[in-house]
């Protein structure tokens, strides 16, 4: 189990789709800003998925954490899109595939995608895992770098192990925060 910074984990494989286990929501802004900052430096097109009616809140959180969301959106280098739980998971990636193709044709190196955090056991957890499986199926091997944050700090050991087993089925690996911007990698594929 290697401890490294986020960039080192992302560079360890082509087109990673990583789950990230965080202890609390307080760790999320640093993770996202680091991830999106790396995407900007690599010439990526950035996409952030928000819960319904939370796009403006997500913009504020990312901006307050140091990401110039307004400039990235103005340059068409970033979008913030709310997840519509009324759209079935199957086929939900079709518009993202078209948008990726357009971004690549426009000179982007790939899609850098992250989303809102999910707590295993929340009412939306199973639905989100359905979207994650579809995302994994659609973009494995394409120039897409994905991180999916999960808040696991309040879980006991048994529930954490169950979440790890379930989440690892649709991700290329699971990172666990070690603090100070470093992560251990579990379940590499």
Domain boundaries, given as residue ranges, for the chain: 3-186
For residue 101, the model assigns a pLDDT of 96
Are the CB atoms for 10 and 18 separated by under 8 Å?
A: yes
Extract the tokens encoding 115.
């989303």
3-state secondary structure the chain: CCEEEHHHHHHCCCCCEEEEEECCHHHHHHHHHHHHHHHHHCCCEEEEEECCCCHHHHHHHHHHCCCCHHHHHHCCCEEEEECCCCCCCCCCCHHHHHHHHHHHHCCCCCEEEEECCECCCCCCHHHHHHHHHHHHHHHCCCCEEEEEEEECCCCCHHHHHHHHHHHHHHCCEEEEEEECCEEEEECCC
Q: Does domain 3-186 have CATH number 3.40.50.300?
A: yes
Share of the chain above pLDDT 90, in %: 75
Count CA within 13 A, CB hemisphere, residue 127.
11
pLDDT digits (tens, 9 = 90+) for 81-110: 999 999 999 999 999 999 999 999 999 999
pLDDT at residue number 117: 95
Question: pLDDT per residue over 104-146, tens digit each?
Answer: 999 999 999 999 999 998 889 999 999 999 999 999 889 999 9
Q: Report yes or no on whether pTM surpasses 0.85.
A: yes
Query: With 50 as the cut, is the pLDDT of residue 30 above it?
Result: yes
* Burial grade of 146 (CB within 10 A; 0-12, 13-18, 19 or more): buried
């Amino acid at each position: 189990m290697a401890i490294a910074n986020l960039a080192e984990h992302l560079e360890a494989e082509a087109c990673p789709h990583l789950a990230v286990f965080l202890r609390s929501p307080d760790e999320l802004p640093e993770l996202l800003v680091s991830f999106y900052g790396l995407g900007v430096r690599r010439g990526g097109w950035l996409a952030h998925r928000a819960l319904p009616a939370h796009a403006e809140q997500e913009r504020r959180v990312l901006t307050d954490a140091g990401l110039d969301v307004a400039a990235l959106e103005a340059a068409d280098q970033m979008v913030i899109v709310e997840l519509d739980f009324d759209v079935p998971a199957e086929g939900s990636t079709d518009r993202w595939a078209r948008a990726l193709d357009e971004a690549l044709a426009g000179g982007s190196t790939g899609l850098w995608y992250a989303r809102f955090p999910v707590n295993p056991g929340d009412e939306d957890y199973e639905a989100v895992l359905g979207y994650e499986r579809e995302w994994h199926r659609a973009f494995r091997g394409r120039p897409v770098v994905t991180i999916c944050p999960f808040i696991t700090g309040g879980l006991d050991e048994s529930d954490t192990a169950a979440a790890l087993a379930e989440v690892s089925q649709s991700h290329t690996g699971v990172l666990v925060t070690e603090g100070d911007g470093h992560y251990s990698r579990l379940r590499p594929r």
